[in-house]
Amino acid sequence: MKIKKNDQVLIISGKDRGRHGKVLDVFPESGKVVVEGANIRKKHVKPKKSGEKGQIVEMPASFSISNVKLICSKCGKPTRVGHKLIEGKKYRICKKCGQEI
């Protein structure tokens, strides 16, 4: 996966296009991500006890990883991710500035 948890990403399509956010979760099997503040769904929570009111909780729902672009932590630009091997270890690099991310 090119995107990891806690990465900063830019949303490039959908209703939250142009929004930046932190990746809260990545689901490699389904190719989906959850981004802070993006794709907000309202969830109704039922009252636990009788007499209590139900609540509406807003939480971000997952969406396709192809809708986000990684923001390089070094140059701050949305970028594509490259990889390079150094002494057998794989590193992610920014295609814009060439630095490790």
Binding site for Zn ion (CB under 5 A): 72, 74-75, 94, 96-97
Residue 24 or 75: which CB sits closer to Zn ion? 75
Count other Cβ atoms within 10 Å, centred on residue 98: 12
Nearest distance in Å: CB 95, Zn ion: 8
Closest by CA to 9, choosing from 59, 81, 57, is 81
Nearest distance in Å: CB 42, Zn ion: 36
Residue 55 or 73: which CB sits closer to Zn ion? 73
Residue 24 or 97: which CB sits closer to Zn ion? 97
Q: What's the rounded Cα separation, in Å, for the pair 32 and 71?
A: 17
Q: What's the rounded Cα separation, in Å, for the pair 73 and 100?
A: 9
Nearest distance in Å: CB 8, Zn ion: 12
